[in-house]
Amino acid sequence: MSGIRFDSVSVAYGGNTVLDSLDLTVEPGEVMALLGPSGSGKTTALRAVAGFVRPASGRVLIGGRDVTALPPHKRGIGMVVQQYALFPHMRVADNVAFGLRAQKAPKAEIPGRVAEALEMTGMAAYAERYPRELSGGQQQRVAIARALAIRPGVLLLDEPLSALDAQLRSGMLTELARLHRELPDVSILYVTHDQVEALTLADRIAVMDRARLQDCGTPQQLYRAPRTEFTASFVGNANLLPVTVADGGALFAGHPLALDPGRAAVGAAATLCVRPHLLGLGAGPNALSGTITEVQWRGSTHRLYVDVEGHRVKADLPELRETPALGDHVTLHFEPRDAVLLAAGVCDD
């Protein structure tokens, strides 16, 4: 059984609410990323599913079954945390078998299920090694194999890649994406503060901040059409500029911009959201002119920081053959379809 449902789940410690009335459903076979800064409530939500914290109110359901009062070992879940948590005195195969033995699986089944889990995670050749003989990425694969060996309906991943270096993290992202394809019936709840991990792996992303759910949607929806300023700034980089809604567009510092105002009322205050890579250099529609305050070379791109009417605008441009100098006056532009208008100051449900 898979699928997770948070039914108005709240968690409090000493009178301090750390998760506030969370309503969220993870469909069977779906990867849901909980994305947010430290203290946003995302790890608390995962721990409520695992059974490590008891909600002050609300219910947690797994596969349609209310598990709010059940202990962790009776919930049918697998869990992987950022520090691997392998037993150093046990070989890899014994680490992977630990959950099966704890569940009192038939002894005759254990070797086959251990071998299956190690094969799935690419660790079959390391079954007889100790954790100290493995790299960080290999240890994390073993931790994932241990979680998969019990054949859980729900897999919980709590910042599983944060302890790895950038190269290992990239490789593990590829492996996790492959595992997802091979385990289409397993629901995965993935906690991270890393945008790239969430955008790469998740079918949907739940954006958390200040103990509350702020937004939820597919990676494409949240990136291209965020509902809130917080989502726009946390899911990818964004330029957020104060504007006034006008007929057929908006006014920024008195300058007209052509874009779709949606249902916003003319004269209302709003926030213009445009991604840095969607800004072009030179004349064009929706021009923003200003002075360069910083230039960063990033290999294949240059990032320009431009002071536009007292606002710091960043533009990510393909590597420039001639780098502009600090203090140069430049013009940036963007297409109307590449901008989104947000209700000013909206950060909560």
DSSP 74: G
Alpha carbon distances (Å) from 39 to 18, 47, 205: 8, 14, 17
**Which residues have a Cβ under 8 Å from the Cβ of 138 and sit 6 or more positions away?**
123, 126
**Separation CA 21–CA 8 (nearest Å):** 4
* Residues paired with residue 215 on neighbouring β-strands, in sequence order: 207
Phi-psi region of 48 (alpha: psi -120 to 50; beta: other; left: phi over 0): alpha
Nearest CA-CA partner of 242 in 293, 291, 311, 307: 311
pTM: 0.86
Phi, psi angle pair for 69, to nearest 5°: -100, 0
Backbone CA torsion sign across 273, 275, 276, 278: negative
3-state secondary structure 6-63: EEEEEEEECCEEEEEEEEEEECCCCEEEEECCCCCCHHHHHHHHHCCCCCCEEEEEEC
Judge whether 9 and 49 are in contact, CB under 8 Å.
Answer: no
Closest CA to 90 of 162, 125, 139: 139
Interatomic CA distance for residues 288 and 79, integer angstroms: 48
Positions of the chain with pLDDT lower than 70, given as ranges: 1, 344-349
Between the alpha carbon of residue 173 and those of residues 74, 182, 249, the distances in Å are 29, 14, 40
Are the CB atoms for 140 and 172 separated by under 8 Å? Answer: yes
pLDDT at residue 168, rounded to an integer = 76
pLDDT at residue number 344: 60
Contact between residue 51 and residue 71 where contact means Cβ atoms under 8 Å apart: yes
